[in-house]
Structure 1
């Protein structure tokens, strides 16, 4: 695609069972794009939904030439579905947003202003939304999210913004660098932070979902946290080595204690101390093997070189 044919702005939204939220999402995003002006597109990615999400997308693409509907072969997960949309989109600037409208599209003009800078100078490569509060979420969800961002901030050398999700506006140059990264277990917000450049926050209040239920239960949140930590930190591996040294020292101390007791003829209380030592050392060994296995499994998955995602259909877009 030539530079002249590129839209000025792309909106990319991964969707999974969002049939109820999509009509309102398209209405609000369309109104914002109309107010901003210029050429634009809305790239919707159906991540293997089993409701009417794909039908709603294709109907929208038939009504509005800005809508591009992308359907994946199966459910790949939020981060890979987002990557698929980012690969398909054509804009010079790209707004990443979820279809549940927890992140308000009406902030787009403010993001564009921050990216443009004052008088077109001193702008930003990335403008990311930073959450001040999170409506419609449980205390447990808010507490675990806050703990996760602070934990990963301490474990990585990359400065990943606190309380910031994938909601952000990025330039085409940043997008090209992002899509060139081959990681399978993707943590897009961390990858964007790793790219660097000038990244500016836009504080906002996150709203409750406009419809439907959260697609991130506890099990998916834990897998997402594991992917983020293993993708950006080797601290668990270093910790396993440190704990290994500590456990070796504990085992050696038990050995010395046994030898000294035998030399002085003392009767050792064998069963309790032996079982405690075996249980402690065995448990720590299995824990360390688990940590190593998590990294090894990701290396194996990456080495297969399979496509990150598979697209079944694309409806709409340039003819």
Structure 2
């Protein structure tokens, strides 16, 4: 597929309390885009920052005419901020990256080259993760491999949200109204022609991670429940195993008289725990259905700034018809 000879590339960066490093990020990105042949817009999404991040971005708008800012009314989450950025981006291609510059802009030219060669999605594949604890590296590696095995689509290993996407991919993503989006899985689900660019992830330049263990666990559960039905099938398997164990125990007790109060109590607690586990798995899927049924907007935008022209690529509102009884 032929690409535009003078394309506009949108760089989307979700921002949450990055005051310590946002000025450095802006300077690095502006120096980068000034040296490139393509035209660039840099679109920040303020995910409910409570520090001066948004104010510093607005100050930079006075100096650079390619900076855009979308401000949420509160914190809605990293994946939703990416979704909003994708919807507001005007580029022929859209690059998603974090504002802490752990995903280096120096990788973008290789992504653009692959895009110009005909690929619709070019994702960054991490070879190394500098500046992170052994636990973070281990848990991230385990998550990617578990998700890769469980998912019913091919989600590449060791890839985050750092990627370039063609406009036609972005248009499809913009129309997907998932209540708790898992963007990297959605990009894999969309399909089109995809390839990887390998890179070494840099150490965070300033500030602290915005993905503690609790958020990592939420992201993991969200990814699994969005793109795999294996846990639901596992409920059936566990149930069958428990029934089989109960039958075997009952058969042994009937013919040998083997039964003690302690064993009965332990068995009761084990069965109770397994039952709660299975209920929890089913509840996670039911909650996603509940979230979808409420039909709330994914986010609320308080204000925008830096946009010079009306946006051309906004998705049409999804109108859901209610069947008459």
CA drift at 1:152: 0.5
- Report the RMSD for the aligned CA atoms in angstroms: 1.5
Q: Give the superposition deviation at 1:250.
A: 1.1
Q: Which residue of 2 aligns with 1:92?
A: 92
Equivalent residue runs for 1:217-228 within 5 Å = 217-228=212-223
Contact 1:251 1:277 in 2 (8 A): no
Deviations 1:16-59 (A, max 9, x none): 00112111111111122122234321110110111101101111
- 2:267 maps to 277
In the other structure, the counterpart of 2:102 is 102
1:143-179 CA-partner distances (Å, limit 9, x unpaired): 1111111110100121111111101111000001111
- Deviation string 1:58-117 (CA, Å, 9 cap, x unpaired) is 111222111111110100110001111111111111111111000011221111111112
Equivalents in 2 of 1:40, 1:116: separation in Å? 15
Q: 2:125 aligns with which of 130, 136, 158?
A: 130
Please give the per-residue CA displacement for 1:123-144, whole angstroms capped at 9, x wherever unaligned.
2001111111000000110011
CA distance in 1, matches of 2:114, 2:32: 17
Highest Rg: 1 or 2?
1
- What corresponds to 2:282 in structure 1? 292
Q: Calculate the TM-score normalised by the size of structure 2.
A: 0.91
User: Given the alignment, which residue of 295, 299, 310 partners 2:300?
Assistant: 310
Partners of 1:127 and 1:217 lie apart in 2 by 27
8 A Cα contact 2:253 2:259, kept in partner: no
Matched, 1:211 2:187: no
Gap regions ≥5 residues in structure 1:
118-122
Distance in 2 between the 1:277 and 1:256 partners? Answer: 15
The answer on 1:27 being equivalent to 2:22 is: no
CA contact (8 A) 1:7 1:90 kept: no
Instruction: Quote the Cα distance in structure 1 between the aligned partners of 2:213 and 2:300.
Output: 26
Q: Distance in 1 between matches of 2:156 and 2:259?
A: 53
Q: Which runs of 5+ in 2 are unaligned?
A: 310-325
Following superposition of structure 1 onto structure 2, how do residues 261-276 of structure 1 map, counting pairs within 5 Å? 261=256, 266=257, 268-276=258-266
Give the alignment of 1:16-165 within 5 angstroms.
Answer: 16-117=16-117, 123-165=118-160
**TM-score computed with the length of structure 1 as normaliser:** 0.92
Q: Structure 1 residue 247 and structure 2 residue 242: aligned?
A: yes
CA drift of 1:7 comes to 6.5
Query: 1:295, 1:139 → 2: CA distance?
Result: 31
User: How many residue pairs get matched?
Assistant: 305
* 2:172 equivalent among 166, 177, 193: 177
Kindly indicate whether residue 224 of structure 2 is the aligned counterpart of residue 229 of structure 1: yes
1:50 counterpart SS class: coil
Contact 1:115 / 1:124 at 8 angstroms: preserved in 2? yes
